[in-house]
């Protein structure tokens, strides 16, 4: 399976990036092409995507900066999106990996990569200019 990894330098403390990204409530603020909204049902979190609801689980370790996002479009399918928060002098390097499943065309995969790049820019702007974050 192919993978595309993108990173962006964010000029804020890694703890703030980690806290923001690892909280599923914040997904609609920066992952706008994929996450239209988020809701909790019992103990599980779900996102409303353009393709319908998807269960999301965040496995996050603040000590290592590892955030593994697991998406479950159906109970039988698990999609891993690994993310890393790495200290970069006074700021942060945020790293996002997107795998290409066998059933996704090259054209669709390239479109997803494009959207990830846009979302990383949105994340940077939100965190570097916190007045942009809605209350």
Q: Which residues pair with 3 in a beta bridge?
A: 99
pLDDT of residue 71 exceeding 90, the answer is yes
Per-residue pLDDT tens digits for 85-122: 999 998 999 999 999 988 889 999 999 999 999 999 99
pLDDT at 132: 66
pLDDT at 134: 64
Domains contained in the chain, CATH given? 2-129 (3.30.530.20)
Please compute the mean of the pLDDT values over residues 3-10 and round it to a whole number: 97
Q: In 3-state terms, what secondary structure has residue 114?
A: helix
Q: What is the pTM of this model?
A: 0.90
Closest CA to 85 of 1, 4, 12, 2: 12
Query: Within a 10 A sphere around the Cβ of 67, how many other Cβ atoms?
Result: 23
């Amino acid at each position: 399976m192919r993978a595309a990894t993108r990173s962006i330098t964010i000029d804020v403390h890694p703890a703030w990036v980690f806290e923001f990204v690892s909280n599923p409530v914040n997904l609609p603020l920066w992952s706008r092409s994929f996450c239209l909204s988020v809701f909790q049902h019992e103990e599980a979190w779900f996102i409303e995507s353009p393709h319908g609801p998807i269960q999301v689980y965040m496995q996050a370790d603040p000590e290592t900066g590892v955030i593994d996002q697991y998406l479950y479009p159906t109970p039988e399918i698990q999609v891993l999106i690994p993310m890393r928060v790495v200290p970069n002098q006074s700021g942060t390097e945020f790293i996002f990996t997107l795998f290409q499943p066998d059933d996704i065309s090259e054209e669709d995969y390239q479109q997803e990569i494009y959207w990830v790049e846009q979302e990383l820019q949105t994340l940077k702007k939100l965190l570097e200019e916190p007045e942009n974050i809605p209350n």
